[in-house]
């Protein structure tokens, strides 16, 4: 029986992991706290740790886990920019869930876009107070508009298909273009200049950090709409706020935020937030924020649990782990046919 220390647990996590755990011979201990240098000792005596996107997994945490006997870190998410891979190499194997449901995220991005441009969030609040006025609720058609899609991986491709259904002109930017996709690729600069709407669907890397900042915003159309369901730090939050205040940006819908780690997934309704930028963004009438929930569908949660448990099973059996990643190359196991170390 493989013992798993499961961090940052929410009720919706347990449903499917409990449902499938008996099929994979694992014993899961759930911890509500996030994984960080203070909570890492809780994993001592466990061989596997299951963590999430906003946990802190730096060199200190890696060393603590390793000294406590942990040899596999199973990330139940696609993103892994919160992990010190160099510190983990040769000590702890790391797996992730690269494609739990591209439809979930792409559809949420579409929902945010429609809600924002058709003022659905304002209409909902008004009618709850029996205010049926239409003043201030004028939106615009998506049909015929140009949308710039940054990142054409699985999620980006699904989002492109949805946008085609609306009759939109689609531009795409990706440092690694997929020529099999019927879409017009262009430079990021051209995408900024030409797009009425820009939607981000790319990973966070050194090159993409603050991809949307003062310089790129200045190149965008006046009144551009920005959608981000990928990673918060793709967008310079202060630059975004400045762009909204100056009316350069006509609206923004965010499912992620660069300083979300200690805020999102928790009830902060009785707390005065220290983050002035986030409070100002949320207060803007043309900004819509959801708390990193794009992945949150029944189908995605089921896929997350199954993929994670299958990776753990492969580790226990000594098999190649299909979704293992390391700091040297995130496809090294596919190239060599063996584990990263």
Measured distance CA(96)–CA(323) in Å, rounded:
6
The active-site residue, picked from 76, 96, 157, 231, is 231
**Which of these is catalytic: 201, 260, 323, 324?**
260
Chain centroid to CA 140 = 27
Known catalytic residue: 292? yes
Between helix 120-128 and helix 102-117 the angle, nearest 10°, is 70
Contacts of 219 (CB under 8 A, 6+ apart): 189, 192, 193
Q: How far apart, in whole angstroms, are the C-alpha atoms of residue 110 and residue 239?
A: 24
DSSP state of 31: -
From residue 177, how far is each of 31, 163, 184, 185 by CA, in Å?
A: 41, 18, 10, 7
Strand pairing report for 287-289 and 324-325:
unpaired
Per annotation, catalytic residue among 93, 108, 157, 292:
292
- CA distance linking residue 238 with residue 210, whole number of Å: 10
Torsion of CA 331, 336, 337, 341, to 10 degrees: -80
Lookup: tokens for 96: 């992730």
Name the residues annotated as catalytic.
231, 260, 292
């Amino acid at each position: 029986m493989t013992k798993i220390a499961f961090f940052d647990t929410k009720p919706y996590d347990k449903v499917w992991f409990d449902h499938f755990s008996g099929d994979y011979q694992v014993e899961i201990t759930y911890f509500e706290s996030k994984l960080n240098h203070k909570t890492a000792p809780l994993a001592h005596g466990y061989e596997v740790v299951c963590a999430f996107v906003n946990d802190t997994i730096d060199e200190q945490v890696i060393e603590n886990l390793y000294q406590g006997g942990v040899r596999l870190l199973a990330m139940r998410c696609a993103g892994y920019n919160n992990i010190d891979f160099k510190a983990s190499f040769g000590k702890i194997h790391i797996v992730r869930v690269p494609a739990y449901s591209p439809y979930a995220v792409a559809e949420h991005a579409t929902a945010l876009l429609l809600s924002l441009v058709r003022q659905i969030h304002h209409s909902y609040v008004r009618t709850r107070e029996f205010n049926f006025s239409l003043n201030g609720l004028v939106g615009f058609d998506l049909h015929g508009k140009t949308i710039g899609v940054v990142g054409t991986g699985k999620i980006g491709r699904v989002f492109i298909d949805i946008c085609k259904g609306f009759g939109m002109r689609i531009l795409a930017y990706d440092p690694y273009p997929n020529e099999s996709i019927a879409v017009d690729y262009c430079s990021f600069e051209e995408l900024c200049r030409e797009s009425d709407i820009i939607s981000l669907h790319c990973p966070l890397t050194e090159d993409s950090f603050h991809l949307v900042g003062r310089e790129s915003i200045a190149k965008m159309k006046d009144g551009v709409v920005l959608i981000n369901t990928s990673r918060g730090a793709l967008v310079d939050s202060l630059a975004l706020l400045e762009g909204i205040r100056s009316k350069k940006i006509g609206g923004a819908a965010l499912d992620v935020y660069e300083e979300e780690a200690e805020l999102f997934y928790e009830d902060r309704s009785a707390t005065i937030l220290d983050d002035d930028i986030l409070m100002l963004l949320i207060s803007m009438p043309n900004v819509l924020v959801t708390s990193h929930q794009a992945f949150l569908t029944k189908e995605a949660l089921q896929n997350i649990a199954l993929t994670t448990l299958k990776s753990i099973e492969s580790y226990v059996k000594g098999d190649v782990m299909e979704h293992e990643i390391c700091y040297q190359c995130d496809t090294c196991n596919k190239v060599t046919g063996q584990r990263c170390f």
